[in-house]
Amino acid sequence: MKSIYLDNAATTKMHSSVMKAITDAEEKYFGNSSSLHTIGREAKAELDKAREHISKKANSKNHKLIFTSGGTESNNFAIKGLAENNKNKKHIITTKIEHDSILNVYKFLERKGYSVTYLDVDKEGFVNLSQLEKAIKKDTLVVSVIHGNNEIGTIQDLREIGKICHEKETLFHSDACQSFTKAPINLEKDNIDLLTIKAHKIYGPKGVGGLFIKEGIKLEPLLHGGGHEYNLRSGTVNVPGIIGFSKATDIIGEKEIEHMTNLRNQLIKGLSDVEESWLNGSKDKRLCNNANLSFMYAEGEAILLYLDAAGISVSTGSACSSNTLEPSHVLRAIGLKQEQTHGTVRFSVGIDNTKEEIKYTVDTVKDTIKKLREMCPYKY
């Protein structure tokens, strides 16, 4: 049976070159990067190389990259670490379309007495900049805005947001888990103070991520211990994993971005003639690999499982697929009514997908929608 993986926003298959780099590193650089002996020092040297290599990808000049166990840890570290060190600032600004890994940090802080402003987004998912400007107060700890949205793919204008934050003397954090290496990020020009990145969305290993921290910003560590990573993240450093992360940052280049953009556009165009369906998010400013579509009179979980039976892996924002029967908060934030969120499917293409696969997918999706609509009691 065919197997077409179109859920690269959930995770990617590790690239063979990354796999090789990791296996080699496990062989050669197994040492503890804190050890003083040669083997330890060699591991340390490779770690520093990887740090430098990844830092260049974000044009980091005045930022320190701290390696973590992934995006969730980086997001927790950024927000809780700041909160712990700035106890007089009890206000946080974020958006209504953040990832759960940071949204639940805010819920936690709200229980501790923090107030959180959730900025509205327009129907394409862009943050309202004038609302942001008005929301910043004297005791605002941080403004945090996701860069490339994991569900609808909208890419925010970090530069403008960062500018406003810095004019108002507030720190700016962004979660770039989905966008790192897929969309340009320039820590300096984009006015970013803290940036979350991770490896497994870009063909790297799971369990490896990082947080860029601008010099001068003090964070309280989440993990206390042996003082690894500049005393900010204790725990023996996963040098082979980080070497794999470093290698992974080379995989998506201009050519790959163009390839994925073409496949994404082929998919969107191919499905554009399905009646009562639409693209969620922005048409132009979106992640090169993300196509999020809604189909009326068909339910997302049913679409997903029919496609799965045909060998195509996708994901859905439908309420019926969640444990709480709640539809996706992102889809609600861009103004979809509940009944409009039901038939929402996210396709996220990868570097290995082909035009033929997309064509097969378009045909299969159309058949599936037709089949489900025939089942639907409503005539439309």
Partner 1 sequence: MENYSKKVMENFLKPQNLGEIENADGVGKVGNPKCLFKDTNIHTNLKLKKIKDIKKNDFIISHDGKYHSVTETYKRVISEPIIVLKNRLGEIKLTKEHLVYAIKIPKGDKFLRTKNKKTLIPAWYHAEQLDKGDLILYAILSDTKDVDYLEVNTKKKKFDHNSKSIPSKIKLDSDFLRLAGYYLSEGYYFDKTNNVHIAFCFNLKENNLAQDVVRISEKIFGITPIIKKNETQHSQVVYINSVFIVKLFKELFKSGAKNKDIPDMFMTLPPEKQKSLIYGIWKGDGFFNTKIPRGGYSTISKELVHKLKILLLRQGIIPSIYTEKEKTDKKEQKHQECYRIHVGDKESTTKLAKIIEVTFYNLRPEAINSWIDKNILYTPITFKKTENYSGKVYNLEIDTSHSYNTNAFTVHNCGDIMWLYITVSKNKDGKEIIQDIKFKTLGCAAAIATSSMVTELAKGKTLDDAFKITRGDVAKSLDGLPPIKMHCSNLAADALQAAINDYYSKQGRKILEITHNDNCSCCHKEKNCKK
Catalytic center residues: 320
90 belongs to the binding site for partner 1 (CB under 8 A): no
167 belongs to the binding site for partner 1 (CB under 8 A): no
Size of the site for partner 1 (CB under 8 A): 34
**Of positions 62, 131, 338, 354, contacts partner 1 by CB under 8 A:** 338
Q: Which residue's structure tokens are 């990844």?
A: 54
Q: Which stretch binds partner 1 (CB under 8 A): 71-79, 133-141, 161-169, 295-303?
A: 295-303
Nearest residue (CB) to partner 1, 217 versus 333: 333
**Of positions 48, 326, 363, 367, contacts partner 1 by CB under 8 A:** 326
322 belongs to the binding site for partner 1 (CB under 8 A): yes
305 belongs to the binding site for partner 1 (CB under 8 A): yes
What x-and-dash track marks residues 91-130 binding partner 1 by CB under 8 A? -----x----------------x-----------------
CB of 307 to partner 1, least distance (A): 12
378 belongs to the binding site for partner 1 (CB under 8 A): yes
Q: Which helix (H) or strand (E) holds 67?
A: strand 63-68
> Which 353-372 residues touch partner 1, going by CB under 8 A?
372
Burial bucket for residue 19 (CB in 10 Å: 0-12, 13-18, 19+) = middle
CB of 372 to partner 1, least distance (A): 8
301 belongs to the binding site for partner 1 (CB under 8 A): yes
- Taking residue 275's Cβ as centre, other Cβ atoms within 10 Å add up to 10
**Of positions 81, 299, 315, 349, contacts partner 1 by CB under 8 A:** 299
Nearest residue (CB) to partner 1, 131 versus 338: 338
Rounded Cα distance, 192 and 65, in Å:
13
376 belongs to the binding site for partner 1 (CB under 8 A): yes
- Taking residue 147's Cβ as centre, other Cβ atoms within 10 Å add up to 26
**Of positions 178, 294, 321, 368, contacts partner 1 by CB under 8 A:** 321
339 belongs to the binding site for partner 1 (CB under 8 A): yes
295 belongs to the binding site for partner 1 (CB under 8 A): no
CB of 366 to partner 1, least distance (A): 18
88 belongs to the binding site for partner 1 (CB under 8 A): no
Nearest residue (CB) to partner 1, 108 versus 278: 108
275 belongs to the binding site for partner 1 (CB under 8 A): no
206 belongs to the binding site for partner 1 (CB under 8 A): no
327 belongs to the binding site for partner 1 (CB under 8 A): yes
Binding residues for partner 1 (CB under 8 A)? 96, 113, 297-302, 305-306, 309, 318-327, 329, 332-333, 337-339, 342, 372, 374-378
